[in-house]
Amino acid sequence: MQRVDIFGILFAVTDYENASEVIVENARQNKSFGVSALAVHGLITSYTDNDIGDLVKTIDLIVPDGQPIRWAMNVYHKVGMKDRVSGPTLTLHVLKKASKLGLKLYLYGSTSDTLEKYSNFITKNYHGIKIVGLHVDRFREATPKEDLADIEKINQSEAQIVLVGRGCPRQEKWVALHQDKIPAVLMAVGAAFDFHSGKLKHAPIWMQNSGLEWLFRLAQEPRRLFKRYFTTNSYFMYLFIKHYFNKKYRTI
C-alpha cells in the first residue's frame, strides 16, 4: 500500500474498502496490527510533540481522517484520493466484514454508558460479531500493574479486533504502546464511539465533504473543542502553505 509523507507522518493512500480489507485480514490471522484514523488535530499534535510523534510513526496503518489531510496528500503527492477515510465510517466497514467472519471484538475506552449503547448498536446491526469485552476508560494513564492486567484480560478474551476510543492522542499512544503485546488489530477510532452510540450527531454530508465537519462538532462541544480547533487548524494552514512553497514532499 502506497504511503505519503504529510508533516512527518506517513498516511496510506487507500479507501474504505481496501483499508477495511487489510484490517480484517490481519484480525482473521490474529496478527498484532495498529491502526489510526488521524485527523488534523492528531497530525499537528504529532508534529509539535516529538514524544507523541515518535509513537504515532510506529503505527502500522494511518489513514487520513480529515478532508484537509486528503487535500494535502493530493496537492503534494498527486495521489488522486477521492475521499478521506474517517474513523467512524471505516469502523462500520470493518464491523460489516468482521460480522461475516464471526470475529471477536473488544471495546476499550469511553464511559460505561457510551460502551453499553455502542455494544447494543453493534449487537443489533452486526449479528455475527462476538463482543468479548468492554473496558471503561479510567481517563488517566494506567499504572504498570493496571496495564499488565488490561493486557492479560484482553488476551484472555481472544479478541481479534480492539476498538480504542480514548480521544486523540491518548488512543494513538495506547495503540502504539500495545501493538506487540496484544495479538489483535488495535484501532484508534476516536469519535466512532460517540457517533455510533448516539451521543453525538454526524455533520451533514455537505459539511463533511467540504472539510467543515469540525465546525459542526464545535457547535456541539464549544467549550471542549474551541481551543483545539482554533490552534491546530490555524497551524495546519500555516504548515500547508509553508511546505507547499518549500516543495519538500516526496512519495514514499
pLDDT tens column, 107-123: 999 999 999 999 999 99
The confidence band for 137, taking pLDDT boundaries of 50, 70 and 90, is: very high
Domain-embedded: residue 251: no
Residue 133: pLDDT over 80: yes
What average pLDDT score do residues 47-57 get? 97
Locate all alpha helices (DSSP H) within 136-184, ordered by sequence. 144-157, 170-178
Q: Give the integer Cα–Cα distance in Å for 101 and 3.
A: 28
Residue 97: pLDDT over 60: yes
What average pLDDT score do residues 185-191 get? 92
The one-letter amino acid code at 119 reads: S
Domain-embedded: residue 252: no
Instruction: List the domain range (segments joined by +) for residue 100.
Output: 3-189+199-246
Which residues have CB under 8 Å from 159's CB, separation 6+? 104, 105, 106, 132, 133, 182, 184
Q: Give the integer Cα–Cα distance in Å for 131 and 181.
A: 20
pLDDT of res. 191: 84
Q: What percent of the chain is modeled with pLDDT above 70?
A: 85
Domain-embedded: residue 213: yes
Residue 251: pLDDT over 60: no
pLDDT of res. 195: 85
Q: How many domains, in total, are found in the chain? A: 1
Domain-embedded: residue 194: no
Interhelix angle 222-246/40-48, rounded to 10 degrees, is: 70
- The 3-state DSSP class for residue 153 equals helix
Q: With helix as H, strand as E and coil as C, how does 66-107 read?
A: CHHHHHHHHHHHCCCCCCCCCHHHHHHHHHHHHHHHCCEEEE
Q: Give the integer Cα–Cα distance in Å for 144 and 117.
A: 30
Smallest CA-to-CA distance from 95 within 105, 86, 85 is with 105
Domain-embedded: residue 99: yes
Domain-embedded: residue 179: yes
Residue 95: pLDDT over 50: yes
